[in-house]
Chain A
Amino acid sequence: MLIQLLRFDSLYQIKQASSIILLLVSLSYGVVINADVLGQGMELLNINSPYRLSYFISLTSVLSIFVSMMFCVNNLLRDRDHDFDGIVGILSRKQRLTSCIITIIICTLSVVTALSIGLMLGLLSPNIDQEKVTQFSLTRYLWPWLVFVLPNTIIASSFLVAVTLIKQNAFYTYITAILLFIFFWISMMFIGAPISGSMVFKDPSVITIFALLDPFGTSAFFEQSQFWTPAQKNERLISLSDALLLNRGIWLAIALAIFLFLYSVVIQHFQPSETTSINKQKKLRNQSKEIKAIHSIFSTQFKKYIEEPIVCTDTEGFKFQILAFLTLSVIEIKQIVSQWAFRVLAILVTSLAIVGMFMAVGIFSSGIFSGRYSTTVLLVSYSTEAFTPLVTAIIIFYSAEKIWQEKLLKADSFIDSTAVSNATIYGAKLISLFFIPLFLVALNIVASIVFQISNDYYRFELSHYFSLFYFIAVPVLIQTVLIFFIQMRIAGSRFANKYLGMMISAIVVVLLVTSNGLIGFEHPLLNINQLPSLLRIDSDLVGYGDFAIKFHYLAGFWGIFALIIAAMTVLKWNRGEWCKTRYFRGKKVPPKNVKLPRGNVPVLLFVLVSFGFYIHINIPVINDYQTVENSFDNKALYERKYKKYQHLEIPQVSKMKLAVDFYPKRKSYSVNADYILVNNGNEAMHEIFVTARVPLQSIEITGATVSHKDSTADWSVYLFTLKQALLPGESLAMNYKLEQTSSPFAINKGIVKNGSYINHSGFEPLMGYTERIEIKDKFERESRDLVAKVVRGSNRTQPNDKGKFITNKRKFEAILSTPIEQTAVTVGKLIKAWQQDDRNYFHYKIDQPIYPLVGYFSASYETKRIVHKGIELEVYFHPDHEENINEILRATKATLDYAITKLGPYAFDSLRILEVPEYHPFGGKATSGVIALSESLFTENYNDGADINNPARNTIHEVMHQWWGEKLAPKITQGEGVLVESLTKYMEAVVLAKMYGNSMARQLTKYTQRRYFSGRSYARSTEVALIDADHERYLNYGKGPVVFMALKELLGEQKLNSAFNELIEKHQYTLSATTDDLLAVLFDISDDAKNTLIQDWLTKVIEYDLTINKAVVNKLPDGRFEVNIDIKALRLESNKAGLVNEIFIDEPIKIGLYSEHPNSENTTEMYLENHQINKKYSTLTLLVKNKPNYVMIDPNYTRLDKNLINNIQKIREK
């Protein structure tokens, strides 16, 4: 019987159009994944690398939630939906449900599996780089399928089946699905998985928890593979062990338990709700019969004593439609609000918002970095993160409800036979849908305010809160109109089906969101309803800036679009009989009540087109809407035409004098720059080739004529022919002028109403051919017939392409002007300030040559000035942001104190710290004596007890750059980042330790280690040795500081600083220092044995695996304690292919004994000494006075080690 039932169920399913559509969508998505280079940090992976396949298969297996949801509703509720339950209800429930459940699982499995098949088929696509495809292996698909797709389908189905069976209501099924998905998504956020946009995985303790909690095993997948190198990812299959095995086991067991429960309790004993309701009805019927029997006696005599009232109806006026609209709206909204499901959803959305708020203030960053103050801007931006997708999902569901509710209740003819117009009915339904996002926004606001109060924060910015109704809700409302229209049309078609409508509108919404990538054309008017998401870029300094104006335009445009869709919805409104198009042969007389919308559509279309045209002509061509292809073509053109000038001698700039004028109101700035160019080379110059990335108004070189001029949206070039050759050592003058404007459709984040920050490197034209314009992507090069790019080998003696334009420091002078209410700041001594024509003028000049990439600032700042050791310290900040100023100054002073004593004097008379808007992609940026610090550091709560004081850390970092990067400006070539960033980051930890104790430095180093391993795992190129580090942030910011920490332990802080001092002394006036010079000074202060280690750490790719296997303590007769420690110490070297080999070990590593867990606050260090470790396995015996409880190898985290947890071991008693 079961077999026959199964046959029937599967037949039923196959007959549903939605199943087939779902299958096809899934299949094509699989193909698309391969054709596109999706996924972060997968550049080094083969298209069919086991990791990449597992990554996509495991992540997409989560979609089984929604697929299973559809099948659950379709299968388990179909008897009820189609009034078939009375007939089949008496049949064997158990077998029927078994068949249903098996069908649900099989169907879900098929759809999700189609994706894996799509992935396979995608390999055949001509769009993919065949070189990146290795030999086909079925196991690579089958294994992740077994580990993720199969169990996840069963797990997701178990929950959904249970809820559907028990509640007998599609709402609850839907909510369960959303909850499951949210659970998955939160797991991804918490562990810092690459899909959450995080760059570094979170603390191992967090990941381990989620590896077990995440029902879909994706967290466990990331836990296992988080530090795999690209080479390993190309080789290794995910292994079903440890957390992953446990996870699969636990969740499968839970799923099975749920099924067992369903069988034993629900199916056997549960009275399905349909039977109970029938019983109830019967009871009621019996009751009312009695009542009725009495009344029917009176009804005949009735009219004798009650007068029939005189009734006037009025269905023609506007008043009638308004009243009907109001009445309908109230009923429609009541229908939504009165359901439990809606309350559950509201609670859900609000809880997520609150989770967002907690994340915003940093409760969940596992306490590593400082959290933030509960400012309105911050709460709003984080709490609304999930709002749009979540509410869209809710709208999709309720749209279907609103369209189908009367039809399914069979109450449709009551309304349809009245004179209420289609527009009125539609309007009321739409309003009830609009009510959902608006209500949820209101709820979010209330929750935020309560959150602020509970955090003792009372600066509620109500106008900011209310703006949410516009910025957050409007895009959702526009989307709602579209979703409703789609579902309405499907309901009126031959394929009318509630769930099909939901599915298709969901697919459309997803396509719209991703259409950017699909169309490949970046005109904002082509991406339906893609309004900029403003909340993350909000800033106290600039507000939303021009983004708000862009939003107004686009909201207006898409608003009109929505009006047209709305008018079309009214025109095509399903009234009475829904599907009527196909055989309708009657006369097509336009009914009177749709004349209004019909007449309006052309008018609206005209308005839309004209508005679109207006926006279009206001978009500067050079900016936002040129295609990626177009830009590639421009770059290829540059390379083809001008590569020949690559070897032309490049003049250097010895002196620059600029006039920079800020016009914040009209959002523009202008630059008038006078340079002195000098020939530092050995040969005479006859031509100068200039490449400008931003268009110049003019450029002139004394004694030279422009012999060629050319430009595209991406570059302008000028070829100057010198009348007289410029001989070595000679100089000449150059002048260029430019004006940059920010407009809503070509936003320049630098120039804003308040808080302008312009970087010199952003506008300076380059005096030669620059390789940076060339296309890097191999595929794009090939398709434009460009020869493959030769990767520059290790050559630290020559500056790289960027470095060749700046090989010396320059003299600098600037006159800045800005409106009277703002202050303009740049590098140098302020030698004069004056006012003229309602503008402030500031003349800055610096005596000694500096590294020239300075910043120009203008804003209405609050200022705090102090003098420390003869240095004038100034902080320029937003008036509301004073909480952290003293802490920032404290960190500045501590850093100056340390650096001046250890590294030599500070180079300038003043140090200025300026707050810049949060959206600039950095925490801080240092130039000569001037530091830009991100707004976020002014709103972080440095005092919240986090492991690392982040405002202080960033301040220390930027101040330290005054030595590393400014005083010592290295040669711009490989290894530059080590001298600038690694050293700064290392000293950041040292100063933090001095200010707040060693524990903070340890936590920072621990995080730095993770940054290295995470970054390496998603690297775009094979890992090189530290001295050759180019732009790899995971090396400069991750490995480097750890290596210097190790050097500090190996050589001692003082010796190390003396080496650094020597390096700075030698190279402070020229851009000449390289990592080779660093190696040299290090060798100078060490001996042969240590030199080997230094060499290993800096010139090889080496990591460690240090473990304390076992530790036992034993009390000796003399009262002392003997501790026996079993150590495992491995040293691993990666070769050029990225493969890891074990190598010998012979070096001193610190071992510490502790009273408590070494990371706990009240631990005491009882023993800390170096031990020469020279074997893979060794046993140490230590004698101490007091009984230790913990032992730790390498307690300062100086050795790069993926697993730092096993460095610690609890000591057992013998």
Chain B
Amino acid sequence: MEVVAITSCSNFDVNNHLNKENQLKVSGLSKTYQNGQRALNNVNLRLSNGMFGLLGPNGAGKSSFMRSLATLQPFDNGNIVFNGQDSQVNPDAIRKYVGYLPQEFGVYPKMSAAQLLDYLAILKGVTDKTTRKKQIDYLLALTNLTEHKNKAVAKYSGGMKQRFGIAQAMLGSPRLLIIDEPTAGLDPAERNSFHNILSDIAEKMIILLSTHIVEDINNLCPKMAILNAGEICFEGEPQALINTLQNRLWRKTISKNELEHVQQQYELLSVRLKGGCYQIRLVSDINPGHGFVAVDADLEDAYFHTLKQQQR
């Protein structure tokens, strides 16, 4: 789309494009690394506007998946279609609209946030100078970096750097925001402010958030999927996942020396240390007795359960 200056950009068009329902369809995505390791195995997903959480343990293939979406990595089979455009046939069609925050990133030394954002904004096609300035100011404010915009990003703290990351990902007008493990390494306050930013922008685009922290999903995502060993083992609403354990989760508190015995006896879902004792949980369709009491499942229980089931 050819837009020369912001003035020629009619309001109607803009709103239309911003509020447009976006569609990302991933089908049969597979990828094997050079060393033979299978990163993705027949991944199928369908995403539309809103926040989508991708949960999975470390090494599950989340980053591979995200990088494939961001056209940074070729895959062996399958395809990624964004708003009707195949990313392999025309990678630019997806690049035009993608905002990507990698799990780990660095920046050029000695360059300030404002300089870097300006530079990246141009690369993302914000060719009009006034628009660029407006958006950078907006994003700096949104991410609370206005005061630090003239400091070198390379010297930012982890949280500031992560916020810079989200600011750069939102440059241009992304319709697909890919955020890879954004909260790893952040302290609770930083995580919280990060979540706030994300929830503010979620309605206008597809946001794909990968994490291995269940709480992130809990807080933010109306829809989610679990990726384990390169395969999707659950897709749906978090509540639906929790519902699978409805009336099936049992809890018991035991002392330290009992643990070994209990572990031999039951197949435990989780063991949590609480006040020097162990709180153990297990999944069972009937009451296991022996002091186990029924509990309401949370997302973490359901997530562990899904992983365990896939292991079998």
Contacts and interface: CB of A to CB of B under 8 A. Distances in A.
Contact of B9 (A291, A310, A420, A585): A310
A418 B32 CA distance: 25
Interface string A581-597: 01111110101110000
Interface in B1-49: 1-4, 6, 9, 11, 14, 18, 32-34
B89 A589 contact: yes
A309 interface: yes
Given A577-B67, A586-B88, A316 B1 contact: yes
Contacts of B32: 583, 585
A2 B187 CA distance: 42
B157 A591 contact: no
Interface in A1045-1064: none
Interface stretch (B121-129, B250-258, B262-270, B284-292): B121-129
A411 interface: yes
A665 interface: no
Nearest to B163: A292
Interface in B126-179: 126-128, 131, 134-135, 138, 141-142, 144, 147-148, 155-160, 168, 172-173
Nearest to A407: B106
Interface in B80-132: 86, 88-92, 95-96, 98, 100, 102, 104-110, 119-120, 122-128, 131
Contacts of A417: 70-72, 95, 98, 100
A291 B1 CA distance: 41
A587 to B, nearest CB: 7
A416 B160 CA distance: 23
Contacts of B124: 313, 315, 418-419
Interface in A419-460: 419-421
B155 A284 contact: yes
Given A331-B119, A410-B102, A593 B91 contact: yes
A309 B125 CA distance: 15
Interface string A298-327: 111011001111111111110110011001
A576 B71 contact: yes
A310 B6 contact: yes
Nearest to A576: B72
A870 B14 CA distance: 99
Contacts, number: 208
B122 A324 contact: yes
A310 B14 contact: yes
A582 B34 contact: yes
A1191 to B, nearest CB: 68
Nearest to A408: B106
B76 interface: yes
A135 interface: no
Contacts of B110: 338
Given A288-B157, A300-B196, A312-B173, A579 B34 contact: yes
A147 B131 CA distance: 69
Nearest to B172: A313
A419 B157 contact: no
A1116 interface: no
Contact of A311 (B106, B126, B197): B126
A418 B171 CA distance: 11
Given A409-B108, A410-B102, A419 B74 contact: no
Contact of A576 (B6, B67, B90, B134): B67
A320 B104 contact: no
A314 B34 contact: no
Interface residues of A, number: 68
A604 B140 CA distance: 47
Contacts of B67: 413, 576-577
A454 B1 CA distance: 59
Nearest to A317: B2
A772 interface: no
B92 A314 contact: no
Given A288-B160, A409-B108, A589-B88, A313 B96 contact: yes
A834 interface: no
B74 A580 contact: yes
25 contacts: A284-B155, A288-B156, A292-B157, A295-B144, A296-B189, A299-B144, A299-B193, A307-B138, A309-B138, A310-B6, A311-B172, A314-B127, A411-B105, A413-B67, A417-B98, A417-B100, A418-B95, A418-B124, A419-B125, A577-B73, A577-B74, A589-B86, A589-B88, A591-B90, A591-B91
Given A299-B144, A413-B100, A579-B34, 20 more contacts: A288-B159, A291-B148, A292-B157, A296-B144, A309-B134, A310-B9, A310-B14, A313-B3, A315-B125, A320-B125, A327-B123, A411-B106, A413-B67, A419-B95, A420-B123, A576-B67, A582-B34, A586-B75, A591-B89, A592-B91
Interface of B: 1-4, 6, 9, 11, 14, 18, 32-34, 67, 70-77, 86, 88-92, 95-96, 98, 100, 102, 104-110, 119-120, 122-128, 131, 134-135, 138, 141-142, 144, 147-148, 155-160, 168, 172-173, 187, 189-190, 192-193, 196-197, 200
Q: Ordered nearest first, which 10 A-B pairs have the shortest CB separation?
A: A576-B72, A313-B125, A315-B125, A288-B157, A409-B106, A296-B193, A295-B144, A309-B134, A312-B3, A410-B106
